[in-house]
Structure 1
Amino acid sequence: MFISSQSSAPVFKDVTLIMPAVAVGNVGQLAVDLIISTLNLRRVGYLHTDCLIPMAGNNPFATCKDPEELHTAAEVYTASDLKLAVLQIRAPIVKAKSKKFRQLLLSWIKTNGFSKTIVLSSSHDYQRDDQQLQGTPLRYLITPSLMKESADALKELGWKEMERVPDNQGRSDANTEPQIFVPGGGITKGLYTDSCAMEFPLAVLLIFCSEGDNIPDAFTLLNHLNDWLHLLDSPKQDANKWKIPTSWSLLFGGGIPPALF
């Protein structure tokens, strides 16, 4: 599944992995773009799988000094000094192969011995439960195996855990056992439940949002993550500390042609 672009394969043992879920507003992917661009992470390989819609394009982080090169649907970047790896997913997951992709991904994570995995995701804000309308739009989920080592840190941060809500979707029974519900979250819930069953150290950070200009949501989610991992010092005091990739200049296409008026 993983193909190294280096002469020697990278070592991921005891490294923290950050990855997005392809979800509403692409917030996780935007946040990962900011991490790669700001920390100047080095691409070390890519994931080759038929579970993602094939795509290729120019380097989204290129400057005029960089050589031209193609980038693919799922790539891995690292910063060895930070013990950090980032998986960027740029293409939708084939719906019929969602479960297969989760299994391949978790197998790769287990084989390489990552210390923990953090999934950045999002969920439809219009489908929130009444209790989820209160306070911050940010939520987290954490597997029991990671909770053992992160409980004190999370308590100090004062984060809000994702609420369990009754699953009354198309059911007549109003007393259904509450469960995790992440509408618009793609493989988020599946990754979390699979990781719980396999005793993987995994955490999900997500934000309730709507489709549109989701750049502010990405900054909010990333600052939330930084409170925990300290990727940068005090980014909230200077928003410019997060470096916007060059590809974002085309995020919404070109401007309105003056000839229209």
Structure 2
Amino acid sequence: MFITSENATPVFKDLTLVMPAVAVGNVGQLAVDLLISTFNLPRVGYLHTDCLIPMAGNNPYATGKDDAGELHTAAEVYTAPELKLAVLQIRAPVVKSKSRRFRQLLLSWIKASGFSRTLVLSSSHAYQRDDQQLQGTPLRYLVTPSLLKTSGDAFKELGWREMEKRAPLCPERLDTGAEEERLYVPGGGITKGLYMDSCTEDVPLAVLLVFCSEGDNVPDAMALVSHLDDWLHLLDNPNREGKWKIPTSWNLLFGSGIPPAIF
């Protein structure tokens, strides 16, 4: 699945993997863009799979004409060994009929690579929140038992809110009664399935997500990546400016401008 773009296969052991889930507003992907652009992460390889819709394009993080024509694909891996960080950017939707297979391929690669933990950046439909989710911050987290053992105190210190479980939308269809609560992440793509699979396979994984709506999701991405940095402290490096760098590809986030010639 992983194909290196270097002469030697990169070493991922003990690195933290950050990746997005293709979800409402593409917030996770925008947040990952900010990580790659801010820390100028080098690409070390890509994921080759038929589970993603094929796509290719120019370098989204180009700094000039010299690198603007580089070819980039649907799923690429970047690393910063000095930050103990690896980043997977996914730029294309998952083929609906291959969602389960994609999750299993991802988890197999994650386990084989030896990542210390995996952090998934995601989002969920704001309009489908229940009453308790309307209160306070729109940011939530999920954590597998495997990661909770080592990072549970960190979540308490940060004061983060865990994603609430909800009563079934159609309780009359349940044999166990209406009191059973379940995890819902509407609009979250593979988020819930990847989290549940990670719990089953004892993979240390956390999900950070934000409730949002489609539109200008740059503020949501900024909030989500800053939320992540409250935990990882990536911007604390004295060599950094302490702020997120907007990638060049965002200049066309809402398409090109209106041609003056039409007026």
TM-score above 0.5? yes
Match of 1:62 in 2: 62
- 1:168 CA displacement: 1.6
Give, in whole Å, the separation in 2 of the partners of 1:153 and 1:36. 24
- 1:66 CA displacement: 3.2
Give, in whole Å, the separation in 1 of the partners of 2:251 and 2:169. 42
Match of 1:45 in 2: 45
For 1:241, what is the secondary structure of its paired residue? coil
Q: What are the equivalent positions in structure 2 for 1:16-165 lying under 5 Å apart?
A: 16-67=16-67, 68-165=69-166
Give, in whole Å, the separation in 2 of the partners of 1:30 and 1:257. 27
Unaligned ranges ≥5, structure 1: none
Q: Deviations over 1:110-160 (max 9, x none)?
A: 001100000000000000011100000000000011001111111110000
Match of 1:193 in 2: 196
Matched, 1:252 2:254: yes
For 1:110, what is the secondary structure of its paired residue? helix
For 2:86, what is the secondary structure of its paired residue? strand
Unaligned ranges ≥5, structure 2: none
Matched, 1:184 2:187: yes
Kept in 1: contact 2:171–2:178 (CA 8 A): no
Give, in whole Å, the separation in 2 of the partners of 1:4 and 1:166. 45
Q: How many residues align?
A: 257
Kept in 2: contact 1:168–1:176 (CA 8 A): no
Give, in whole Å, the separation in 2 of the partners of 1:172 and 1:146. 34
- 1:69 CA displacement: 1.5
Give, in whole Å, the separation in 2 of the partners of 1:241 and 1:183. 31
Identity %: 74
Which residue identity lines up with residue 39 of structure 2 in the other structure?
A: L
Q: Deviations over 1:169-199 (max 9, x none)?
A: 4855570510110000000000000000011
Which residue identity lines up with residue 24 of structure 1 in the other structure?
A: V
Q: Deviations over 1:205-241 (max 9, x none)?
A: 000000000000000001100000001029xxx8x81
Distance of aligned partners of 1:169 and 1:6 in 2 relative to their CA distance in 1, 3 Å threshold: farther
Give, in whole Å, the separation in 1 of the partners of 2:236 and 2:132. 33
Out of 212, 219, 229, the position equivalent to 1:226 is: 229
Kept in 1: contact 2:121–2:209 (CA 8 A): yes
Distance of aligned partners of 1:182 and 1:169 in 2 relative to their CA distance in 1, 3 Å threshold: farther
Which residue identity lines up with residue 59 of structure 2 in the other structure?
A: N
Give, in whole Å, the separation in 1 of the partners of 2:147 and 2:155. 11
Distance of aligned partners of 1:170 and 1:22 in 2 relative to their CA distance in 1, 3 Å threshold: farther
Give, in whole Å, the separation in 1 of the partners of 2:15 and 2:170. 39
TM-score for the superposition, normalised by structure 1: 0.95
Give, in whole Å, the separation in 1 of the partners of 2:9 and 2:120. 24
What RMSD in Å do the two structures reach over aligned CA positions? 1.5
Matched, 1:203 2:194: no
Greater CA drift, 65-74 or 29-38: 65-74
Which residue identity lines up with residue 43 of structure 2 in the other structure?
A: R
Which residue identity lines up with residue 180 of structure 1 in the other structure?
A: L
Kept in 2: contact 1:18–1:117 (CA 8 A): yes
Match of 1:12 in 2: 12
Greater CA drift, 59-68 or 182-191: 59-68
